[in-house]
Amino acid sequence: MKKIIFALILAGLVGLIVELAGARLLTPSCKVGRRILLGKENVQLVRAQNTIGQAYLLYICAPNYSHPKNGPQHNADGYRGKAVPLDRRPGVLRVLCLGGSTTYGYGVPLPSQSYPAALEELLREKLPAGYTDVEVINGGLPYATSAEILTHYHFKYHYYRPDIVVINEGGNDAQGYTLPYYHPDNSNWRRPMVNLNPLPKRLRWLAKSRFMSYVMLNIFYADQLHGGQFSLSEGEIPPAPWFKPQGKLLPDSVTVPYDQLSFYHNMETLIREVLFDGARVVLVPFRTPPGVYEKLGKEYELSQILRHEQIFRDFSQKYKVGFAPFPAEAITFSNWVDHCHLNVEGERQKAGHIAPYVISALAAPAAGQPRKQDLAK
């Protein structure tokens, strides 16, 4: 009996030590993850990662996401910065900025420091005639390609009825071309994002242990806990390898023709839809600091980024929409924080560079209106 009691006491002490260790190991994200596993968090991992999966959009900025150090980042409607009401207000200019992390403002800690926020301030200082105020929606999505930008406009931002849409993209698509087995649907490097959900009720007792929660979250739910990684392993064949020109999958770094290029198809579709909605368009090419891609050994990726820039130029001529040349010199070299993102001052410089093109585009007639009027007749 003494041995049994001693064993129980020893087991209790070991359990207590393990639990104390688990409590120290639990990061803020793990603590939220544990609450989700226990069914005590209403919104799946909204505050523990900055993106969550959503049908048809692939993924979105996690609603109400708050950074552990920098505070609130996303609004309840699922994009960065302050929320803009769906319904239009008379006399208020509405600008929608679409793009990836360079629109989102990945290099700055606060939403108010991103280039869309700075653009709103500049436009408010120089409001075009006929407007009493301005509101800018930051539709930037970290890691977004032209596919997400297109679907987010079609299924979501179209309903906000913007007056002008600023599209800044070209880098993430280029990265996809460097991977094996290029597919226009991005299935050669993207997979659906899965949200973290509560455990079945019969198993939630496991998450009551802080140590077990730490183990489960970091072994079985690491993707959801640490940002929702959703990329295929490099070299992995897509689940449905349908894109086989001349019957063969494409190898690495193959420059595909325009009629098979996802960026070309997606951006042209987006421009046509925005114009049909009666809004203006300003195309802004993706930009990198001088010499950085060469130092990283990414010459091919850079060549595709420059190709995307030329596609934007061609579309600006074809559809008579705005094009904002974006030379790297527009940003002071010290204001780049990495291969493409900017610091606070760099975001201001970017907004200051783009603002005149937005104002100029607003002075031009909306290309989509005649088509809508003809359709109504």
Question: Which parts of the chain are beta strand (E)?
Answer: 51-54, 58-61, 66-67, 71-72, 92-99, 133-140, 164-169, 280-285, 322-323
- Between the CA of residue 314 and those of 171, 323, 341, what are the distances in Å? 18, 10, 26
Distance (Å, whole) CA 154 – CA 138: 16
Cβ distance 30 to 217 under 8 Å?
yes
The CATH superfamily label for domain 79-178+253-376 reads SGNH hydrolase (3.40.50.1110)
CB atoms closer than 10 angstroms to residue 258: 12
pLDDT at residue 145 in the model: 96
Helix (H) / strand (E) containing 16 = helix 2-25
pTM of the model: 0.86
- Three-class DSSP category at 159: helix
Tell me the pLDDT of the chain (377 aa) as tens digits.
Answer: 888 887 788 877 776 776 777 778 888 778 888 888 898 875 545 444 588 888 899 889 988 888 878 999 999 999 999 999 999 999 999 999 999 999 999 999 999 999 999 999 999 999 988 899 999 999 999 999 999 999 999 999 999 999 999 999 999 999 989 889 999 999 988 888 877 888 999 999 888 888 888 888 888 887 777 655 677 777 789 999 999 999 999 988 788 999 999 999 999 999 999 999 999 999 999 999 999 999 999 999 999 999 999 999 999 999 999 999 999 899 999 999 999 999 999 999 999 999 999 999 998 776 555 444 433 43
Q: What is the dihedral of CA 353, 355, 361, 366, to 10 degrees?
A: 140
Residue at 6: amino acid letter: F
**Boundaries of every domain in the chain:** 1-76+194-227, 79-178+253-376
Distance (Å, whole) CA 242 – CA 246: 12
CB atoms closer than 10 angstroms to residue 22: 18
pLDDT at residue 377 in the model: 38
- Between the CA of residue 325 and those of 82, 138, 159, 331, what are the distances in Å? 28, 20, 29, 13
pLDDT at residue 28 in the model: 76
Question: Which parts of 219-368 are beta strand (E)?
Answer: 280-285, 322-323
- Between the CA of residue 256 and those of 181, 259, 260, 261, what are the distances in Å? 12, 8, 6, 6
Cβ distance 228 to 193 under 8 Å?
yes
Distance (Å, whole) CA 26 – CA 13: 20
